[in-house]
Chains A and B, each alone.
Chain A
Protein backbone atom coordinates (compact mmCIF):
# COMPACT_ATOMS: atom_id res chain seq x y z
CA UNK A 1 0.00 0.00 0.00
CA UNK A 2 1.34 3.42 -0.86
CA UNK A 3 0.24 6.68 0.67
CA UNK A 4 0.09 10.22 -0.64
CA UNK A 5 3.34 12.17 -0.58
CA UNK A 6 1.72 14.93 1.48
CA UNK A 7 -0.24 12.63 3.80
CA UNK A 8 -1.56 14.07 7.05
CA UNK A 9 -2.28 11.31 9.55
CA UNK A 10 -5.46 11.95 11.53
CA UNK A 11 -6.25 9.98 14.67
CA UNK A 12 -10.04 9.65 14.92
CA UNK A 13 -11.44 9.78 18.46
CA UNK A 14 -13.81 6.86 18.88
CA UNK A 15 -16.75 6.90 21.32
CA UNK A 16 -17.27 3.99 23.73
CA UNK A 17 -19.92 2.63 21.37
CA UNK A 18 -17.65 2.73 18.34
CA UNK A 19 -18.78 5.90 16.59
CA UNK A 20 -16.45 8.60 15.36
CA UNK A 21 -16.43 11.48 17.85
CA UNK A 22 -17.96 14.78 16.75
CA UNK A 23 -14.45 16.22 16.33
CA UNK A 24 -13.75 14.00 13.31
CA UNK A 25 -15.07 16.12 10.44
CA UNK A 26 -13.13 19.18 11.58
CA UNK A 27 -9.91 17.21 12.15
CA UNK A 28 -10.06 15.74 8.66
CA UNK A 29 -11.18 19.11 7.27
CA UNK A 30 -8.13 20.73 8.85
CA UNK A 31 -5.88 17.99 7.47
CA UNK A 32 -7.23 18.57 3.96
CA UNK A 33 -6.15 22.23 4.20
CA UNK A 34 -2.51 21.23 4.57
CA UNK A 35 -2.28 17.90 2.72
CA UNK A 36 -4.11 14.65 2.05
CA UNK A 37 -5.96 13.17 5.02
CA UNK A 38 -5.28 9.56 5.99
CA UNK A 39 -7.29 8.47 9.03
CA UNK A 40 -6.55 5.97 11.77
CA UNK A 41 -9.42 4.32 13.67
CA UNK A 42 -8.49 2.30 16.74
CA UNK A 43 -11.38 0.46 18.39
CA UNK A 44 -12.24 -2.81 20.11
CA UNK A 45 -12.83 -5.75 17.76
CA UNK A 46 -15.93 -5.56 15.65
CA UNK A 47 -17.29 -2.13 16.55
CA UNK A 48 -15.30 0.24 14.35
CA UNK A 49 -17.34 0.16 11.14
CA UNK A 50 -19.37 3.30 11.84
CA UNK A 51 -16.21 5.26 12.64
CA UNK A 52 -14.45 3.97 9.52
CA UNK A 53 -17.38 5.05 7.34
CA UNK A 54 -17.50 8.43 9.06
CA UNK A 55 -13.80 9.02 8.45
CA UNK A 56 -14.16 8.31 4.72
CA UNK A 57 -17.24 10.47 4.34
CA UNK A 58 -15.42 13.23 6.23
CA UNK A 59 -12.70 13.11 3.56
CA UNK A 60 -10.03 10.54 4.46
CA UNK A 61 -8.55 9.02 1.27
CA UNK A 62 -7.63 5.93 3.23
CA UNK A 63 -8.64 4.66 6.62
CA UNK A 64 -6.30 2.45 8.62
CA UNK A 65 -7.84 0.36 11.34
CA UNK A 66 -6.40 -1.40 14.34
CA UNK A 67 -8.13 -3.39 17.04
CA UNK A 68 -7.48 -2.48 20.61
CA UNK A 69 -8.93 -3.69 23.84
CA UNK A 70 -10.73 -0.76 25.47
CA UNK A 71 -9.71 -1.97 28.92
CA UNK A 72 -6.14 -0.71 28.51
CA UNK A 73 -5.92 3.08 28.64
CA UNK A 74 -4.09 5.05 25.91
CA UNK A 75 -1.13 2.75 25.29
CA UNK A 76 -2.72 0.48 22.60
CA UNK A 77 -3.79 3.58 20.69
CA UNK A 78 -0.26 4.99 20.87
CA UNK A 79 1.13 1.67 19.63
CA UNK A 80 -1.29 1.76 16.68
CA UNK A 81 -0.47 5.39 15.92
CA UNK A 82 3.21 4.51 15.89
CA UNK A 83 2.58 1.69 13.40
CA UNK A 84 0.43 3.98 11.25
CA UNK A 85 3.08 6.70 11.38
CA UNK A 86 5.76 4.29 10.20
CA UNK A 87 3.57 3.05 7.37
CA UNK A 88 2.29 6.43 6.18
CA UNK A 89 5.32 8.68 6.83
CA UNK A 90 3.05 11.73 7.07
CA UNK A 91 3.93 15.43 7.05
CA UNK A 92 2.01 15.91 10.30
CA UNK A 93 -0.09 13.98 12.80
CA UNK A 94 -3.39 15.56 13.90
CA UNK A 95 -5.14 14.52 17.09
CA UNK A 96 -8.20 15.98 18.76
CA UNK A 97 -7.46 18.18 21.78
CA UNK A 98 -9.77 15.95 23.85
CA UNK A 99 -8.78 14.23 27.08
CA UNK A 100 -8.14 10.95 25.27
CA UNK A 101 -6.47 12.71 22.33
CA UNK A 102 -4.07 14.68 24.52
CA UNK A 103 -2.97 11.54 26.33
CA UNK A 104 -2.22 9.78 23.06
CA UNK A 105 -0.51 12.82 21.52
CA UNK A 106 1.68 13.29 24.59
CA UNK A 107 2.83 9.70 24.77
CA UNK A 108 3.32 9.43 21.04
CA UNK A 109 5.38 12.63 20.82
CA UNK A 110 7.50 11.60 23.79
CA UNK A 111 8.08 8.13 22.34
CA UNK A 112 8.99 9.27 18.85
CA UNK A 113 10.63 12.54 19.92
CA UNK A 114 8.35 14.46 17.59
CA UNK A 115 7.71 18.17 18.04
CA UNK A 116 4.36 18.65 19.75
CA UNK A 117 2.05 21.64 19.41
CA UNK A 118 -1.20 21.78 21.34
CA UNK A 119 -4.64 23.34 21.09
CA UNK A 120 -4.35 24.63 17.52
CA UNK A 121 -7.34 26.63 16.27
CA UNK A 122 -6.16 26.52 12.65
CA UNK A 123 -3.44 25.11 10.40
CA UNK A 124 -1.59 26.30 7.35
CA UNK A 125 1.50 25.50 5.36
CA UNK A 126 4.45 27.68 4.42
CA UNK A 127 7.66 26.90 2.47
CA UNK A 128 9.10 25.16 5.48
CA UNK A 129 6.18 23.01 6.49
CA UNK A 130 3.08 22.87 8.62
CA UNK A 131 2.22 25.85 10.80
CA UNK A 132 -0.18 25.61 13.76
CA UNK A 133 -2.20 28.65 14.81
CA UNK A 134 -3.02 29.15 18.46
CA UNK A 135 -5.25 31.51 20.38
CA UNK A 136 -3.53 32.30 23.68
CA UNK A 137 -4.68 33.85 26.99
CA UNK A 138 -8.34 33.74 26.09
CA UNK A 139 -7.85 34.97 22.56
CA UNK A 140 -5.82 38.05 23.53
CA UNK A 141 -2.91 36.80 21.43
CA UNK A 142 -2.49 34.84 18.23
CA UNK A 143 0.62 32.70 18.12
CA UNK A 144 1.93 30.58 15.27
CA UNK A 145 4.17 27.61 15.90
CA UNK A 146 6.15 25.16 13.80
CA UNK A 147 8.52 22.25 14.26
CA UNK A 148 12.24 22.94 13.87
CA UNK A 149 12.33 19.79 11.75
CA UNK A 150 10.40 16.54 11.30
CA UNK A 151 6.67 16.00 11.17
CA UNK A 152 4.87 17.76 14.03
CA UNK A 153 2.17 16.24 16.22
CA UNK A 154 -0.63 18.78 16.63
CA UNK A 155 -3.72 18.65 18.84
CA UNK A 156 -6.63 20.60 17.39
CA UNK A 157 -9.14 22.47 19.57
CA UNK A 158 -12.61 20.96 19.28
CA UNK A 159 -15.10 23.17 17.51
CA UNK A 160 -12.47 25.65 16.29
CA UNK A 161 -12.01 24.60 12.65
CA UNK A 162 -14.82 25.25 10.16
CA UNK A 163 -13.14 23.68 7.10
CA UNK A 164 -14.67 20.44 5.86
CA UNK A 165 -13.28 18.07 3.22
CA UNK A 166 -15.12 16.30 0.42
CA UNK A 167 -16.27 12.73 1.06
CA UNK A 168 -13.97 10.01 -0.30
CA UNK A 169 -14.71 6.45 -1.43
CA UNK A 170 -14.15 3.91 1.32
CA UNK A 171 -10.59 2.61 1.21
CA UNK A 172 -9.82 0.58 4.32
CA UNK A 173 -6.71 -1.22 5.39
CA UNK A 174 -6.06 -3.24 8.53
CA UNK A 175 -2.89 -2.27 10.28
CA UNK A 176 -0.53 -4.78 11.88
CA UNK A 177 0.49 -3.43 15.29
CA UNK A 178 3.17 -4.85 17.53
CA UNK A 179 2.40 -3.99 21.18
CA UNK A 180 5.04 -1.86 22.92
CA UNK A 181 4.52 -3.63 26.23
CA UNK A 182 4.41 -0.23 27.96
CA UNK A 183 2.40 -0.48 31.22
CA UNK A 184 -1.14 0.86 30.82
CA UNK A 185 -3.85 1.67 33.31
CA UNK A 186 -6.86 -0.58 33.48
CA UNK A 187 -9.99 1.23 32.34
CA UNK A 188 -13.54 0.27 33.21
CA UNK A 189 -16.72 1.09 31.42
CA UNK A 190 -17.59 4.71 30.75
CA UNK A 191 -20.81 5.84 32.39
CA UNK A 192 -21.97 7.65 29.28
CA UNK A 193 -23.63 10.94 30.14
CA UNK A 194 -26.95 10.95 28.37
CA UNK A 195 -27.31 14.06 26.27
CA UNK A 196 -30.02 16.02 28.06
CA UNK A 197 -31.96 16.67 24.87
CA UNK A 198 -31.50 17.55 21.27
CA UNK A 199 -29.63 20.65 22.45
CA UNK A 200 -26.46 21.43 20.50
CA UNK A 201 -23.09 20.52 21.94
CA UNK A 202 -21.28 23.36 23.67
CA UNK A 203 -18.07 22.96 21.67
CA UNK A 204 -18.51 24.44 18.24
CA UNK A 205 -22.05 25.73 18.96
CA UNK A 206 -23.12 28.80 16.99
CA UNK A 207 -25.17 30.08 19.94
CA UNK A 208 -24.50 29.65 23.62
CA UNK A 209 -26.55 30.69 26.66
CA UNK A 210 -24.60 30.47 29.91
CA UNK A 211 -25.68 30.86 33.50
CA UNK A 212 -23.72 31.76 36.61
CA UNK A 213 -24.08 31.85 40.35
CA UNK A 214 -26.74 34.53 39.88
CA UNK A 215 -29.23 31.82 38.93
CA UNK A 216 -29.25 30.89 42.60
CA UNK A 217 -30.12 27.19 42.47
CA UNK A 218 -30.21 24.12 40.30
CA UNK A 219 -33.99 24.44 40.00
CA UNK A 220 -33.76 28.06 38.89
CA UNK A 221 -30.96 27.26 36.41
CA UNK A 222 -33.75 25.84 34.23
CA UNK A 223 -34.26 29.43 33.07
CA UNK A 224 -30.93 29.21 31.25
CA UNK A 225 -32.06 26.02 29.53
CA UNK A 226 -35.36 27.60 28.55
CA UNK A 227 -33.70 30.57 26.85
CA UNK A 228 -31.19 28.20 25.24
CA UNK A 229 -34.03 26.13 23.79
CA UNK A 230 -35.82 29.22 22.52
CA UNK A 231 -32.63 30.24 20.73
CA UNK A 232 -31.60 26.67 19.74
CA UNK A 233 -28.45 27.35 21.71
CA UNK A 234 -26.07 25.20 23.73
CA UNK A 235 -25.98 25.58 27.52
CA UNK A 236 -22.86 26.90 29.21
CA UNK A 237 -22.01 27.89 32.75
CA UNK A 238 -19.52 29.71 34.92
CA UNK A 239 -17.33 27.77 37.27
CA UNK A 240 -19.28 29.08 40.24
CA UNK A 241 -22.44 27.54 38.76
CA UNK A 242 -20.59 24.27 38.23
CA UNK A 243 -19.11 24.30 41.73
CA UNK A 244 -22.57 24.95 43.17
CA UNK A 245 -23.84 21.86 41.35
CA UNK A 246 -26.29 23.67 39.02
CA UNK A 247 -24.80 21.87 35.96
CA UNK A 248 -22.13 19.25 35.21
CA UNK A 249 -18.53 20.38 34.73
CA UNK A 250 -18.68 19.63 31.00
CA UNK A 251 -20.70 22.87 30.63
CA UNK A 252 -18.02 25.12 32.14
CA UNK A 253 -16.91 27.92 29.87
CA UNK A 254 -13.58 29.58 30.54
CA UNK A 255 -9.96 29.13 31.11
CA UNK A 256 -10.24 25.72 32.74
CA UNK A 257 -13.40 24.82 30.87
CA UNK A 258 -14.42 24.96 27.25
CA UNK A 259 -13.41 27.84 24.97
CA UNK A 260 -16.26 28.91 22.73
CA UNK A 261 -16.46 31.37 19.86
CA UNK A 262 -20.13 31.40 18.86
CA UNK A 263 -22.10 33.94 16.81
CA UNK A 264 -24.06 34.74 19.97
CA UNK A 265 -23.07 34.35 23.62
CA UNK A 266 -25.59 35.22 26.32
CA UNK A 267 -24.27 35.50 29.90
CA UNK A 268 -26.94 35.34 32.60
CA UNK A 269 -26.04 36.15 36.20
CA UNK A 270 -22.31 35.88 35.45
CA UNK A 271 -19.97 38.53 36.84
CA UNK A 272 -17.44 38.10 34.04
CA UNK A 273 -14.31 37.16 35.97
CA UNK A 274 -11.22 37.20 33.79
CA UNK A 275 -11.10 33.38 33.79
CA UNK A 276 -14.64 33.22 32.44
CA UNK A 277 -14.00 35.88 29.78
CA UNK A 278 -10.95 33.90 28.64
CA UNK A 279 -13.31 31.25 27.31
CA UNK A 280 -15.89 33.44 25.56
CA UNK A 281 -14.54 36.86 24.67
CA UNK A 282 -13.89 35.92 21.04
CA UNK A 283 -17.64 35.40 20.52
CA UNK A 284 -19.07 37.52 17.68
CA UNK A 285 -21.91 39.03 19.72
CA UNK A 286 -22.09 39.08 23.50
CA UNK A 287 -25.25 39.78 25.51
CA UNK A 288 -25.07 40.06 29.30
CA UNK A 289 -27.76 40.38 31.95
CA UNK A 290 -26.63 41.19 35.46
CA UNK A 291 -28.07 43.04 38.45
CA UNK A 292 -24.79 44.73 39.17
CA UNK A 293 -24.12 47.69 36.83
CA UNK A 294 -20.38 47.39 37.57
CA UNK A 295 -20.05 43.70 36.70
CA UNK A 296 -16.97 43.26 34.48
CA UNK A 297 -18.98 41.20 31.98
CA UNK A 298 -20.38 44.53 30.72
CA UNK A 299 -16.89 45.55 29.56
CA UNK A 300 -17.06 42.94 26.81
CA UNK A 301 -20.81 42.94 26.15
CA UNK A 302 -22.25 44.30 22.89
CA UNK A 303 -25.64 44.49 24.54
CA UNK A 304 -25.75 44.74 28.31
CA UNK A 305 -28.85 44.78 30.47
CA UNK A 306 -28.64 45.86 34.07
CA UNK A 307 -31.50 43.90 35.52
CA UNK A 308 -32.82 40.78 37.19
CA UNK A 309 -32.54 37.64 35.06
CA UNK A 310 -35.77 36.32 36.58
CA UNK A 311 -37.66 39.33 35.20
CA UNK A 312 -35.82 40.00 31.93
CA UNK A 313 -35.35 36.48 30.63
CA UNK A 314 -38.98 35.25 30.89
CA UNK A 315 -40.10 38.39 29.10
CA UNK A 316 -37.53 37.87 26.34
CA UNK A 317 -38.55 34.22 25.96
CA UNK A 318 -42.19 35.22 25.70
CA UNK A 319 -41.44 37.85 23.05
CA UNK A 320 -39.28 35.44 21.04
CA UNK A 321 -41.80 32.60 21.25
CA UNK A 322 -44.58 34.98 20.17
CA UNK A 323 -42.64 35.79 17.01
CA UNK A 324 -42.23 32.15 16.14
CA UNK A 325 -46.00 31.74 15.90
Chain B
Protein backbone atom coordinates (compact mmCIF):
# COMPACT_ATOMS: atom_id res chain seq x y z
CA UNK B 1 0.00 0.00 0.00
CA UNK B 2 1.22 3.49 -0.85
CA UNK B 3 -0.02 6.27 1.39
CA UNK B 4 0.47 9.97 0.66
CA UNK B 5 0.23 12.19 3.72
CA UNK B 6 -0.30 15.87 2.98
CA UNK B 7 1.82 17.90 5.36
CA UNK B 8 1.85 21.65 5.48
CA UNK B 9 4.11 24.26 6.99
CA UNK B 10 2.26 26.96 8.88
CA UNK B 11 3.25 29.88 11.12
CA UNK B 12 3.39 28.64 14.71
CA UNK B 13 0.04 29.46 16.22
CA UNK B 14 1.77 30.18 19.55
CA UNK B 15 3.65 33.01 17.85
CA UNK B 16 2.63 36.32 16.40
CA UNK B 17 1.01 35.49 13.07
CA UNK B 18 1.15 38.33 10.59
CA UNK B 19 0.05 39.10 7.07
CA UNK B 20 2.13 41.37 4.90
CA UNK B 21 -0.17 44.35 4.34
CA UNK B 22 1.21 44.99 0.86
CA UNK B 23 1.19 41.49 -0.61
CA UNK B 24 -1.44 39.93 1.63
CA UNK B 25 0.84 36.91 2.01
CA UNK B 26 1.69 35.29 5.30
CA UNK B 27 4.79 36.88 6.74
CA UNK B 28 6.97 33.80 7.10
CA UNK B 29 9.45 35.70 9.27
CA UNK B 30 6.98 36.91 11.89
CA UNK B 31 6.81 33.63 13.74
CA UNK B 32 8.54 30.30 13.76
CA UNK B 33 7.29 28.08 10.95
CA UNK B 34 6.16 24.63 12.11
CA UNK B 35 4.51 21.58 10.64
CA UNK B 36 0.76 21.97 10.97
CA UNK B 37 -0.15 20.02 14.09
CA UNK B 38 -3.11 18.26 12.49
CA UNK B 39 -1.02 17.15 9.51
CA UNK B 40 1.49 15.63 11.96
CA UNK B 41 -1.41 13.64 13.40
CA UNK B 42 -2.34 12.58 9.86
CA UNK B 43 1.22 11.30 9.45
CA UNK B 44 0.89 9.35 12.71
CA UNK B 45 -2.23 7.59 11.35
CA UNK B 46 -0.22 6.45 8.32
CA UNK B 47 2.77 5.39 10.41
CA UNK B 48 0.62 3.29 12.74
CA UNK B 49 -0.74 1.44 9.72
CA UNK B 50 2.77 1.02 8.32
CA UNK B 51 4.04 -0.33 11.67
CA UNK B 52 1.41 -3.05 11.55
CA UNK B 53 1.70 -3.70 7.82
CA UNK B 54 5.29 -4.09 6.60
CA UNK B 55 5.77 -3.04 3.00
CA UNK B 56 3.61 0.05 3.38
CA UNK B 57 5.12 3.12 1.75
CA UNK B 58 4.44 6.42 3.47
CA UNK B 59 5.21 9.52 1.40
CA UNK B 60 4.96 13.02 2.89
CA UNK B 61 3.84 15.57 0.32
CA UNK B 62 3.93 19.32 0.66
CA UNK B 63 3.55 22.33 -1.56
CA UNK B 64 5.68 24.98 0.08
CA UNK B 65 8.53 27.39 -0.67
CA UNK B 66 12.13 26.22 -0.48
CA UNK B 67 12.45 27.69 3.01
CA UNK B 68 10.04 25.02 4.23
CA UNK B 69 12.40 22.11 3.54
CA UNK B 70 13.26 21.72 7.27
CA UNK B 71 9.57 21.17 7.99
CA UNK B 72 9.38 18.53 5.27
CA UNK B 73 12.48 16.90 6.77
CA UNK B 74 10.69 16.82 10.09
CA UNK B 75 8.03 14.62 8.49
CA UNK B 76 10.86 12.28 7.44
CA UNK B 77 12.32 12.38 10.95
CA UNK B 78 8.94 11.47 12.44
CA UNK B 79 8.92 8.46 10.15
CA UNK B 80 7.79 9.03 6.55
CA UNK B 81 9.85 6.91 4.17
CA UNK B 82 10.21 9.59 1.51
CA UNK B 83 8.99 13.09 0.81
CA UNK B 84 7.96 15.21 -2.14
CA UNK B 85 8.09 18.99 -1.96
CA UNK B 86 6.64 21.11 -4.72
CA UNK B 87 8.52 24.38 -5.01
CA UNK B 88 7.90 27.08 -7.56
CA UNK B 89 8.05 30.89 -7.56
CA UNK B 90 4.68 31.04 -9.30
CA UNK B 91 3.11 29.28 -6.34
CA UNK B 92 3.62 32.15 -3.88
CA UNK B 93 0.11 33.17 -2.90
CA UNK B 94 -1.44 30.25 -4.82
CA UNK B 95 -5.19 30.05 -4.25
CA UNK B 96 -7.04 26.90 -3.21
CA UNK B 97 -7.79 25.93 -6.81
CA UNK B 98 -4.15 25.99 -7.88
CA UNK B 99 -2.97 24.34 -4.65
CA UNK B 100 -5.39 21.45 -5.14
CA UNK B 101 -4.42 21.03 -8.78
CA UNK B 102 -0.73 20.91 -7.93
CA UNK B 103 -1.12 18.49 -5.02
CA UNK B 104 -3.41 16.21 -7.05
CA UNK B 105 -0.91 16.18 -9.93
CA UNK B 106 1.88 15.12 -7.58
CA UNK B 107 -0.27 12.33 -6.11
CA UNK B 108 -1.25 11.13 -9.58
CA UNK B 109 2.40 11.10 -10.61
CA UNK B 110 3.38 9.00 -7.57
CA UNK B 111 0.31 6.77 -7.60
CA UNK B 112 -1.49 6.42 -4.26
CA UNK B 113 -3.86 3.94 -2.66
CA UNK B 114 -4.72 6.28 0.17
CA UNK B 115 -4.27 10.02 0.75
CA UNK B 116 -4.41 11.29 4.35
CA UNK B 117 -4.81 14.99 5.12
CA UNK B 118 -5.78 17.18 8.04
CA UNK B 119 -9.40 18.35 8.08
CA UNK B 120 -8.47 22.04 8.15
CA UNK B 121 -5.22 23.96 8.01
CA UNK B 122 -4.42 25.77 11.22
CA UNK B 123 -3.33 28.91 9.35
CA UNK B 124 -6.62 29.45 7.59
CA UNK B 125 -9.78 27.51 8.07
CA UNK B 126 -10.05 26.31 4.49
CA UNK B 127 -10.99 22.69 4.93
CA UNK B 128 -11.59 22.20 1.23
CA UNK B 129 -8.30 20.81 -0.09
CA UNK B 130 -9.18 17.16 0.71
CA UNK B 131 -12.41 17.13 -1.30
CA UNK B 132 -10.87 19.18 -4.12
CA UNK B 133 -8.05 16.65 -4.45
CA UNK B 134 -10.51 13.77 -4.34
CA UNK B 135 -12.45 15.30 -7.22
CA UNK B 136 -9.30 15.85 -9.31
CA UNK B 137 -8.14 12.29 -8.71
CA UNK B 138 -11.58 10.71 -9.11
CA UNK B 139 -11.33 9.20 -5.61
CA UNK B 140 -14.01 8.90 -2.94
CA UNK B 141 -13.45 11.15 0.06
CA UNK B 142 -14.08 10.60 3.76
CA UNK B 143 -13.64 13.86 5.62
CA UNK B 144 -13.53 14.97 9.25
CA UNK B 145 -12.80 11.51 10.62
CA UNK B 146 -12.45 11.14 14.38
CA UNK B 147 -11.66 7.40 14.08
CA UNK B 148 -10.40 5.31 11.19
CA UNK B 149 -9.84 1.69 10.19
CA UNK B 150 -7.59 1.14 7.19
CA UNK B 151 -8.01 -2.20 5.44
CA UNK B 152 -6.08 -3.62 2.50
CA UNK B 153 -8.71 -2.58 -0.05
CA UNK B 154 -10.98 -0.27 1.86
CA UNK B 155 -11.12 2.38 4.54
CA UNK B 156 -13.83 3.11 7.05
CA UNK B 157 -14.27 5.38 10.01
CA UNK B 158 -16.38 7.75 12.01
CA UNK B 159 -17.09 11.12 10.51
CA UNK B 160 -17.69 14.04 12.85
CA UNK B 161 -20.49 15.33 10.64
CA UNK B 162 -22.38 18.57 11.23
CA UNK B 163 -25.20 16.80 13.05
CA UNK B 164 -23.42 13.97 14.84
CA UNK B 165 -21.12 11.00 14.37
CA UNK B 166 -21.64 9.07 11.17
CA UNK B 167 -20.10 5.77 10.03
CA UNK B 168 -18.53 6.03 6.59
CA UNK B 169 -16.56 3.71 4.32
CA UNK B 170 -15.08 3.54 0.84
CA UNK B 171 -13.08 1.31 -1.44
CA UNK B 172 -9.49 2.38 -2.05
CA UNK B 173 -8.18 4.53 -3.57
CA UNK B 174 -9.60 7.24 -1.36
CA UNK B 175 -8.82 10.56 0.31
CA UNK B 176 -9.42 10.83 4.04
CA UNK B 177 -9.11 13.85 6.30
CA UNK B 178 -8.67 13.50 10.04
CA UNK B 179 -9.51 15.85 12.91
CA UNK B 180 -7.41 16.82 15.90
CA UNK B 181 -9.26 14.13 17.87
CA UNK B 182 -6.44 11.81 16.73
CA UNK B 183 -3.38 11.42 18.96
CA UNK B 184 -0.29 13.55 18.54
CA UNK B 185 2.48 12.27 16.29
CA UNK B 186 5.40 10.42 17.80
CA UNK B 187 8.35 12.64 18.60
CA UNK B 188 11.28 12.38 16.20
CA UNK B 189 14.13 10.79 18.13
CA UNK B 190 17.82 11.19 17.40
CA UNK B 191 17.88 8.10 15.20
CA UNK B 192 14.92 9.42 13.23
CA UNK B 193 16.55 12.80 12.74
CA UNK B 194 19.80 11.22 11.52
CA UNK B 195 17.94 8.81 9.23
CA UNK B 196 15.88 11.68 7.79
CA UNK B 197 19.01 13.22 6.33
CA UNK B 198 19.47 10.19 4.11
CA UNK B 199 15.85 9.65 3.14
CA UNK B 200 14.79 10.71 -0.35
CA UNK B 201 13.29 14.19 -0.59
CA UNK B 202 12.22 14.89 -4.15
CA UNK B 203 11.74 18.51 -5.16
CA UNK B 204 9.33 19.05 -8.05
CA UNK B 205 8.49 22.12 -10.09
CA UNK B 206 5.27 23.01 -11.86
CA UNK B 207 6.81 21.87 -15.15
CA UNK B 208 7.50 18.43 -13.67
CA UNK B 209 3.81 18.19 -12.90
CA UNK B 210 2.51 19.74 -16.09
CA UNK B 211 0.44 22.29 -14.15
CA UNK B 212 -0.06 25.84 -15.42
CA UNK B 213 -0.05 28.66 -12.87
CA UNK B 214 -0.85 31.06 -15.70
CA UNK B 215 -3.71 33.41 -14.69
CA UNK B 216 -5.56 32.68 -17.92
CA UNK B 217 -5.54 28.90 -17.32
CA UNK B 218 -8.47 29.04 -14.89
CA UNK B 219 -10.26 31.58 -12.71
CA UNK B 220 -8.36 32.26 -9.49
CA UNK B 221 -9.24 33.83 -6.19
CA UNK B 222 -7.16 36.92 -5.49
CA UNK B 223 -6.92 39.18 -2.49
CA UNK B 224 -8.18 42.64 -3.31
CA UNK B 225 -7.43 44.30 0.03
CA UNK B 226 -5.89 43.55 3.41
CA UNK B 227 -6.19 45.64 6.53
CA UNK B 228 -5.21 45.17 10.13
CA UNK B 229 -7.58 45.56 13.02
CA UNK B 230 -6.20 47.38 16.05
CA UNK B 231 -5.48 44.90 18.84
CA UNK B 232 -7.93 44.74 21.69
CA UNK B 233 -7.09 46.63 24.87
CA UNK B 234 -7.59 45.30 28.37
CA UNK B 235 -10.29 46.93 30.50
CA UNK B 236 -10.98 46.80 34.24
CA UNK B 237 -9.40 44.06 36.35
CA UNK B 238 -10.43 43.44 39.93
CA UNK B 239 -9.32 40.92 42.51
CA UNK B 240 -12.05 39.03 44.32
CA UNK B 241 -12.42 40.11 47.91
CA UNK B 242 -15.59 38.19 48.51
CA UNK B 243 -17.96 40.33 46.45
CA UNK B 244 -16.68 39.89 42.87
CA UNK B 245 -19.70 37.78 41.92
CA UNK B 246 -22.03 40.57 42.96
CA UNK B 247 -19.84 43.09 41.12
CA UNK B 248 -19.98 40.95 38.01
CA UNK B 249 -23.78 40.83 38.17
CA UNK B 250 -23.81 44.62 38.56
CA UNK B 251 -21.44 45.05 35.60
CA UNK B 252 -23.64 42.91 33.36
CA UNK B 253 -26.74 44.80 34.39
CA UNK B 254 -25.09 48.20 33.88
CA UNK B 255 -24.03 47.18 30.40
CA UNK B 256 -27.47 45.81 29.56
CA UNK B 257 -26.06 42.35 29.04
CA UNK B 258 -28.77 40.58 31.01
Interface on A for B, CB 8 Å cutoff?
Answer: 13, 15-16, 21, 73-75, 78, 97-100, 102-107, 109-111, 113-119, 131, 136-137, 139-150, 152, 155, 182-193, 207, 231, 239, 249, 255-256, 259, 263-264, 273-275, 278, 281, 285-287, 289, 293, 298-308, 311-320, 323
Question: Given the complex of chains A and B, what is the CA–CA distance between A186 and B236 in angstroms?
Answer: 54
Residues of B within 8 A of A311 (CB): 240, 244-245
Contacts A183-B170, A187-B166, A320-B249: A119 and B220 contacting too (C-beta < 8 A)?
no
Residues of B within 8 A of A119 (CB): 124-126
Stretch binding the partner chain, chosen from B42-50, B81-89, B202-210, B222-230? B222-230
Do A136 and B127 touch (CB < 8 A)? no
Do A319 and B220 touch (CB < 8 A)? no
Interface flag for B258 (CB, 8 Å): yes
Question: Given the complex of chains A and B, what is the CA–CA distance between A97 and B171 in angstroms?
Answer: 27
Do A116 and B249 touch (CB < 8 A)? no
- Identify the closest chain A residue to B220 (Cβ): A148
Cross-interface CB contact of B240 among A73, A274, A307, cutoff 8 Å: A307
Enumerate 22 A-B pairs (CB-CB under 8 Å) in ascending A order: A99-B160, A105-B128, A110-B97, A115-B219, A117-B221, A118-B124, A140-B17, A147-B221, A148-B222, A183-B171, A185-B169, A188-B166, A189-B166, A239-B180, A275-B13, A287-B248, A301-B234, A303-B251, A308-B240, A316-B244, A316-B248, A320-B258
Q: Determine which residue in B132, B144, B174 has the highest number of CB atoms from chain A within 10 A of its CB, and name it.
A: B132
Q: Determine which residue in B135, B164, B227 has the highest number of CB atoms from chain A within 10 A of its CB, and name it.
A: B135
Question: Given the complex of chains A and B, what is the CA–CA distance between A110 and B240 in angstroms?
Answer: 56
Report the 10 A-B pairs with minimum CB-CB distance, sorted nearest first. A315-B245, A307-B240, A106-B131, A319-B249, A106-B128, A302-B235, A188-B167, A304-B237, A316-B245, A150-B219
Do A103 and B143 touch (CB < 8 A)? yes
Residues of A within 8 A of B164 (CB): 16, 190-193
- Identify the closest chain B residue to A16 (Cβ): B163
Do B128 and A102 touch (CB < 8 A)? yes
Interface flag for B70 (CB, 8 Å): no
Do A303 and B236 touch (CB < 8 A)? yes
Contacts A183-B171, A186-B170: A144 and B225 contacting too (C-beta < 8 A)?
yes
Residues of A within 8 A of B142 (CB): 73, 185
Cross-interface CB contact of B235 among A131, A183, A304, A323, cutoff 8 Å: A304
Nearest Cβ on chain B to A238's Cβ, whole angstroms: 13
Residues of B within 8 A of A320 (CB): 249, 252, 258
Interface flag for B33 (CB, 8 Å): no
Question: Given the complex of chains A and B, what is the CA–CA distance between A264 and B256 in angstroms?
Answer: 10
Interface flag for B211 (CB, 8 Å): no
Question: Given the complex of chains A and B, what is the CA–CA distance between A115 and B220 in angstroms?
Answer: 5
Nearest Cβ on chain A to B255's Cβ, whole angstroms: 6
- Extra pairs beyond A145-B222, A305-B248 (10, CB < 8 Å): A16-B164, A73-B168, A74-B141, A99-B127, A102-B128, A141-B229, A144-B223, A185-B140, A188-B168, A192-B164
Residues of B within 8 A of A313 (CB): 245
Interface flag for B52 (CB, 8 Å): no
Interface flag for B139 (CB, 8 Å): yes
Q: Determine which residue in B129, B142, B219 has the highest number of CB atoms from chain A within 10 A of its CB, and name it.
A: B219
Residues of A within 8 A of B258 (CB): 231, 320, 323
Residues of B within 8 A of A188 (CB): 166-168
Q: Which of B70-128 contact A (CB under 8 A)?
A: 95-97, 100-101, 119-120, 122, 124-128
Contacts A109-B97, A118-B128, A188-B166: A146 and B221 contacting too (C-beta < 8 A)?
yes
Do A107 and B19 touch (CB < 8 A)? no
Nearest Cβ on chain A to B48's Cβ, whole angstroms: 20
Do A116 and B237 touch (CB < 8 A)? no
Question: Given the complex of chains A and B, what is the CA–CA distance between A82 and B215 in angstroms?
Answer: 24
Residues of A within 8 A of B143 (CB): 99, 102-103
Interface flag for B185 (CB, 8 Å): no
Residues of A within 8 A of B252 (CB): 231, 264, 287, 316, 320
